[in-house]
Chains A and B, each alone.
Chain A
Amino acid sequence: MNAEVNAPTAPEKKEFWRWQESVWVDETKDWKTAKIVTCGIDVGSVSSQAVLVIDGELYGFNSMRTGNNSPDSATNALAGIMDKCGMKQEDIHFVVGTGYGRVNVPFADKAITEIACHARGANYMGGNGVRTILDMGGQDCKAIHCDEKGKVTNFLMNDKCAAGTGRGMEVISDLMQIPIAELGPRSFDVDVEPEAVSSVCVVFAKSEALGLLKAGYTKNKVIAAYCQAMAERVVSLLERIGVEEGFFITGGIAKNPGVVKRIEKLLGIKAMETKVDSQIAGALGAALFGYTLASKKAAAAAA
């Protein structure tokens, strides 16, 4: 008699931290009639974006998760948006790479730091009234001051630990087993606003969050405590360089109202709103730098 033994299969692991990737093209514009097409590629530690700009105006973007290889991430991000609008790489006049993987964008004509690119991108998205920019990226956090043209006048970056970054939020999302997009709204569903957990270390914050759950806190209350910690962390960075009116937030965490509202409360000012995805600010700034450089190149060639 043959006994059939079925090996136990591991249950499928749900990835609560996984955020929504997106591709968008402005259907009202036609890139084929544009004089200058430029592209900005932001290869971040967690997400990669490709933004297309035609004649200095935003045309489309692709935002996706960064893989384990920067050149492939850059290529895939660009391929995603080119497929959407039927463009080929030779149709793009200038490509600027930015983000931590900027030197590994194989088809880039120039690499510019994400600090300058975020300032330029925020200036486009929020207008020339933007003065203070907070970029909460995947694995770092930047506080930037810029002038009315989007030129950086003061900056500070913290990339030594994950506190105050998107990665920290992903850790809490997985710990709570709640999709990352729901964390912000759920953090307001508490009877009393709790004390913040550790704002200096994600590992400590995670331990504290577990302790609070064991002490009887609801998940929403623990999330609120973490959102408050994150807000306190980034506000301390912002206060180092000073905060002026014209406050703009970029990066993935800008989509988390639980953190944004608490930052606004601590600072006493409201962040400027935009219709454009906050996550593309760096790549958008890179594409706009590309437009300036391509225009100069074209003018020099014509002279």
Chain B
Amino acid sequence: MIANYGYKDGSGEYYISIDTDKCIDCAAERACLTACPKQMFEIIEDDYDDQVAWIKKPNCRTLSYDCADCKPSSGYTTLPCITACTPGAIKHSW
């Protein structure tokens, strides 16, 4: 399942996608939890009883601000969450 967390507003579309099929048997030992400086990731049991990562609810509405520090304009060439997720389950839409 592809789970998209985020929103669209007048300034653009801000979604973090998590491919839960790649996330269930995480080969990166849930590195996303510690890689994100804002600690936005959390492990939950989804509706189909799988242990997967999601974005914490409050962050889903403030992604453009929360992720700004890790974007190229702040000096990063790759995003810490995407680098940490070696199975390639995480994607940003912007």
The residues of A with any CB-CB pair to B shorter than 8 Å are 112-113, 115-116, 151-161, 200-201, 236-237, 240-241
Knowing A158-B8, A160-B7, A201-B10, the reply to whether A113 touches B47 (Cβ < 8 A) is yes
Interface CB pairs A-B, < 8 A, 6: A152-B47, A154-B2, A154-B3, A155-B4, A159-B60, A201-B9
Complex-state Cα separation, A259 to B5, whole angstroms: 25
Shortest distance from the beta carbon of A118 to any chain B beta carbon, whole Å: 11
Interface residues of B in 39-94 (CB under 8 A from A): 47-48, 60-61, 93
Q: Is the CB of B1 within 8 A of A240?
A: no
Task: Return the contact of A116 from the options B2, B13, B15, B47 (Cβ within 8 A).
Answer: B47
Q: Is the CB of B9 within 8 A of A160?
A: yes
Q: Is the CB of A160 within 8 A of B1?
A: no
Knowing A115-B47, A116-B48, A236-B8, the reply to whether A155 touches B1 (Cβ < 8 A) is yes
Task: Return the contact of B61 from the options A155, A160, A237 (Cβ within 8 A).
Answer: A160
Question: Chain A residues with Cβ under 8 A from B3's Cβ?
Answer: 154-155
Question: Chain A residues with Cβ under 8 A from B5's Cβ?
Answer: 157
Shortest distance from the beta carbon of B60 to any chain A beta carbon, whole Å: 8
Q: Is the CB of B9 within 8 A of A240?
A: no
Task: Return the contact of B7 from the options A112, A159, A201 (Cβ within 8 A).
Answer: A159
Question: Chain B residues with Cβ under 8 A from A158's Cβ?
Answer: 7-8
Shortest distance from the beta carbon of B15 to any chain A beta carbon, whole Å: 7
Q: Is the CB of B8 within 8 A of A154?
A: no
Knowing A151-B48, A152-B47, A240-B15, the reply to whether A200 touches B9 (Cβ < 8 A) is yes
Shortest distance from the beta carbon of A284 to any chain B beta carbon, whole Å: 15
Is the interface on chain B under 10, 10 to 19, 20 to 34, or 35 or more residues? Answer: 10 to 19
Shortest distance from the beta carbon of B27 to any chain A beta carbon, whole Å: 22
Question: Chain A residues with Cβ under 8 A from B9's Cβ?
Answer: 160-161, 200-201
Complex-state Cα separation, A158 to B63, whole angstroms: 13
Complex-state Cα separation, A153 to B48, whole angstroms: 11
Q: Interface code B1-30, partner A: CB below 8 Å = 1, 0 otherwise? A: 111110111100101000000000000000
In addition to A152-B1, A200-B8, 15 A-B residue pairs with Cβ atoms within 8 Å of each other are A115-B47, A116-B47, A151-B1, A152-B47, A154-B4, A155-B2, A156-B4, A158-B7, A158-B8, A159-B60, A159-B61, A160-B8, A160-B9, A201-B10, A240-B93
Q: Is the CB of A240 within 8 A of B47?
A: no
Q: Is the CB of B4 within 8 A of A240?
A: yes
Complex-state Cα separation, A240 to B14, whole angstroms: 11
Shortest distance from the beta carbon of A150 to any chain B beta carbon, whole Å: 11
Complex-state Cα separation, A241 to B4, whole angstroms: 9
Task: Return the contact of B10 from the options A151, A200, A237 (Cβ within 8 A).
Answer: A200
Question: Chain B residues with Cβ under 8 A from A161's Cβ?
Answer: 7, 9
Shortest distance from the beta carbon of A201 to any chain B beta carbon, whole Å: 6
